[in-house]
Structure 1
Amino acid sequence: MSHLKTTAAWSGFLSATLLLTACGENSPDAENTADAVPAEEEPDDVSMEDVNEDVPGSTQTFGWNLFDHLLQEEENQLLSPASISTALAMTMAGADGETKQEMTEVLSLHGLEDEEIDASFQALITLLEDTGSDVELAIANSIWKREDYGFDDTFIEKMEEEYQAQVEPLTDEEPINDWISGQTNGLIEDMISEVRPQTVMYLINAVYFQGDWAEPFEESLTTEGTFTTSTGKEVDAMMMRRAEKEPVFLHSENDAFQAVSLPYGEEERWSMNVILPHEEEGSLQKTVDAFRNEDPLTFSEKVGNFRLPRFQMEEETTLNEPLIELGMPKAFNSAEADFSRMVEGGGIFISEVLHNTFIDVDETGTEAAAATSVAMEESAPGYDFDMIVDRPFLFTVQDEETGVLLFAGYVNKPEEG
């Protein structure tokens, strides 16, 4: 175990949560680590030189901005910035004009050429999946397209080649849900409730992670304890601890929080950073702000009394409003969205961005999964008005010539005969 470790901003590319970060031999600060693991030859000669240096950090910036936007102190929260970024980057590859400009700003990818973005995501997926033998990580992309719709061949080829996306026909939700379940080891089920008639494509990313602690907690020492929520309510929690009398941890502390880094596997390339804001009012926001400002964590070995609750979380989030509020409204506007590089002439928009996550943390390690789905729909024709009769209504049946009112009615609940 190293005596000093710095986790830099780019290392959060695959944060399955904001506690789970990559901090291995490819980190820009790995030279500061006394026992850094020697870099192995990457498959197909892919290396960090194939990744634009701004892309991983941009992804983490976007992740923390979104996390901060969604954060409610009284509620649990679980995001995979990597999954969301990848799904949106795939979608952005079909955008143009102001729609594309807004998306690049929100994803913090402004100033980069399309080729740099696409090639960087392609290389990162390859690099991240080469985790070694003691951590399992799978990243998969797919697109599901209506066969009778005129998608641009260049866009489809880019999805297959640059994002390694599986291309399938869009029929109903069952094959999509089966694919997501298969890619996440069954942790995310029935993500898509139905495929609407006007939906022409789904762009989907799925992530699965499983890692055992380099130094596991001793299950026989797990005891019931008290966890105090943000509202002051005390709840029961099973608190884990290590077996050593004087356990050594990688620890960091500043005026906003203290943190412990828990490595996975023998190579210790991956780790969970457990970040505990101080009890003073405002420390939670101060902690989030520190990460949004890309302040690195510097850990050093210390003997400590560290206890962590076992926990399991499962979240389902619709990201339309948060993404609009962060600055990309045109992509969701049927009249203004420009996805003309996806479909000749455009005429489609993002109707829904769904994000489902799961994580289970216990004495042996962590299992986590995430999936992000971007649904594209046809823009409605230029109607003079919209009238969708989906709530109580009145009706009449009359003779237009004599004015005789034959029937008058009110429907509160439609019933079929």
Structure 2
Amino acid sequence: MKQEFSNARENFLQRRYGVRLGRRYVLAAASVVLMSVIGCSQVNSSTSAFAQSRLPRSESPIPKPASNLDSKLIAANTKFGFKLFSEVLKNDNNKNIFVSPSSVALALAMTYNGASGSTKEAIAKALEFKELSLQQINSSNAVLKNLLENPDPKVQLTIANSLWASKEASFNPDFLQRNRDFYAARVTNLNFTDTGAPSIINEWVNEKTRGKISKIVEKIEPSQVLYLINAIYFKGSWTNEFDKQQTAEYPFYLSSGQQKQHPMMSQSGDYKYYENQQFQAVSLPYGKDGNISFYVFLPKRNSSLVGFYQNLKVENWENWMSQFSKREGFIRLPRFKMDYDITLNNALGALGMAEAFSNKANFSAMGKDLKMSEVKHKTFVEVNEEGTEAAAATSVEIMPLSAQLSPPKAFRMIVDRPFFCAIRDNQTGSILFMGSIVEPHS
């Protein structure tokens, strides 16, 4: 069956693109769905923490993944990504921002499989799933995973999912089975009272992200019974690497008007380039085939990032993507490295998901009397002469309805001024990462 699916996928790619897909980038993302759930019944299990769990399998027929990617899912993910980024900007507009919309969308899609009633509708609204059935969402995510993981000599990209369940809890079999079938999730029983349990989960995340996300679980509270984790690792080199001998100190102009000396990489060549009255934009490809690129959007000196973000919408984005064309030119780009973290409760609430965080929440397709209590997102990115490396972790915590929400924790082409950037899979259109760099640090 696995071979048949692989063959179908290959045929689909050849029919649609006429070539084999390649992959390359230097990007690591770990999106983590942390589910702390109260279980009302028990499951007898003596399974080792590292062994595959024998949690109940569904007796209902679960449709298998389809062999083609529904473009509606990509459109939904893109629209959600820009909406989320816009909400994040409202609080952090004067800071460096770097988020993974793909990470957050995938984490919430997995959570969506446990939602019911008006809570399911609220999440669908936020994620732009209104025109997609659960079957379409799951099947397309399964296909997307396979497309993104297509190997390339200079690019590594892996996506791994897992469910870590307390031995004292039980869950809806269909919810578990959908995560097995569509997200290839490993389901494991774990003794949550063991002080070493967080380390076991963190070791899995650390392994799947090649050490870029070393810890996602700080402590397992008594009320927690399930962690649903997605980990993505991406690493790729530029198609044309920057010559380190050409890197030198140049001024970078901050929004305040001040300037700072910063290491800037320089390069000349042929690039996919687009320019209009508001900005210049260039696509810097990774790997041999350039299937994934780093996009830099630099507002012109008579404009600003604020003006650019007012136009950062799906319709404009798709138009911009179609306008890039080959052109000879020169690019000077800051070398930078940063960490970023944010609690997304307010942003997701503003997008229509407030009910999922309240005592009106309905996650009956997952278990009984549950709600989301906190969604945390962490990222790391480094751009240098060799390529790009990044990591992201998304944690969704689910608690009993009666639990009080704890307050959100505090969170902290001469490209010589604040700019927007994105890492995009050019074959599927998936935006893996996007960011606002107002002050680079190396």
TM over 0.5, shorter chain: yes
User: Which residue pairs with 1:219 in the alignment?
Assistant: 244
Summarize deviations over 1:310-368 as a string: whole Å, max 9, x none. Answer: 111211221112111111011111x211011111xx21111221211111111111111
Can you give the 5+ residue segments of structure 2 that lack an aligned partner in the other structure? 1-11, 24-63, 407-442
Structure 1: how far apart are the matches of 2:306 and 2:314? Answer: 12
Structure 1: how far apart are the matches of 2:148 and 2:382? Answer: 21
Residue identity (%)? 35
User: Which residue pairs with 2:83 in the alignment?
Assistant: 65
Structure 1: how far apart are the matches of 2:18 and 2:263? Answer: 34
Alignment check: 8 A CA contact 2:65 2:139 kept: no
- Find out whether 1:240 has 2:261 as its counterpart: no
Q: Residue type of the partner of 1:139?
A: I
User: Which residue pairs with 1:303 in the alignment?
Assistant: 328
Summarize deviations over 1:130-183 as a string: whole Å, max 9, x none. Answer: 142221111112222222222111111111111111222352422222222211
Structure 2: how far apart are the matches of 1:74 and 1:327? Answer: 25
Q: CA deviation at 1:284?
A: 3.4
Alignment check: 8 A CA contact 1:204 1:374 kept: no
User: Which residue pairs with 2:255 in the alignment?
Assistant: 230
Q: Residue type of the partner of 2:339?
A: E
Q: Which residue of 71, 78, 96 maps to 1:53?
A: 71
Q: Residue type of the partner of 1:101?
A: E
Change (3 A) 1:124 1:373: same
Q: Higher mean Cα deviation, 165-174 or 112-121?
A: 165-174
Alignment check: 8 A CA contact 1:47 1:127 kept: no
Greater relative CO (CA pairs within 8 A, separation 6+): 2
Change (3 A) 1:352 1:287: closer
Alignment check: 8 A CA contact 2:66 2:139 kept: no
Q: Secondary structure, in 3 states, of the residue corresponding to 1:162?
A: helix
Change (3 A) 1:40 1:221: closer
Structure 1: how far apart are the matches of 2:13 and 2:249? Answer: 39
User: Which residue pairs with 1:366 in the alignment?
Assistant: 388
User: Which residue pairs with 1:398 in the alignment?
Assistant: none
TM-score (norm 1): 0.77
User: Which residue pairs with 1:340 in the alignment?
Assistant: 364
Change (3 A) 1:302 1:356: same
Structure 2: how far apart are the matches of 1:160 and 1:115? Answer: 14
- Find out whether 1:205 has 2:223 as its counterpart: no
Change (3 A) 1:103 1:27: farther
Change (3 A) 1:324 1:47: closer
Paired residues in the alignment total 344
Q: Residue type of the partner of 1:142?
A: S
Alignment check: 8 A CA contact 1:200 1:376 kept: no
Q: Which residue of 66, 81, 89 maps to 2:109?
A: 89
Alignment check: 8 A CA contact 1:201 1:377 kept: no
Structure 1: how far apart are the matches of 2:81 and 2:340? Answer: 16
Higher alpha-carbon Rg: 1
Alignment check: 8 A CA contact 2:363 2:371 kept: yes
- Find out whether 1:259 has 2:277 as its counterpart: no
Q: CA deviation at 1:47?
A: 11
Q: CA deviation at 1:370?
A: 1.4
Structure 2: how far apart are the matches of 1:342 and 1:121? Answer: 19
User: Which residue pairs with 1:126 in the alignment?
Assistant: 146
- Find out whether 1:165 has 2:165 as its counterpart: no
Q: CA deviation at 1:92?
A: 0.5
Q: CA deviation at 1:48?
A: 9.4
Alignment of structure 1 residues 134-153 onto 2, 5 Å: 134-153=154-173
Alignment check: 8 A CA contact 1:347 1:378 kept: yes
Alignment check: 8 A CA contact 1:134 1:266 kept: yes
Q: Residue type of the partner of 2:20?
A: A
Q: Higher mean Cα deviation, 192-201 or 363-372?
A: 192-201
Q: Higher mean Cα deviation, 295-304 or 118-127?
A: 295-304
Change (3 A) 1:90 1:294: farther
Q: CA deviation at 1:107?
A: 0.4
Can you give the 5+ residue segments of structure 1 that lack an aligned partner in the other structure? 1-24, 31-35, 389-417
User: Which residue pairs with 2:20 in the alignment?
Assistant: 39
Q: CA deviation at 1:40?
A: 5.4
User: Which residue pairs with 1:415 in the alignment?
Assistant: none
Q: Residue type of the partner of 2:19?
A: P
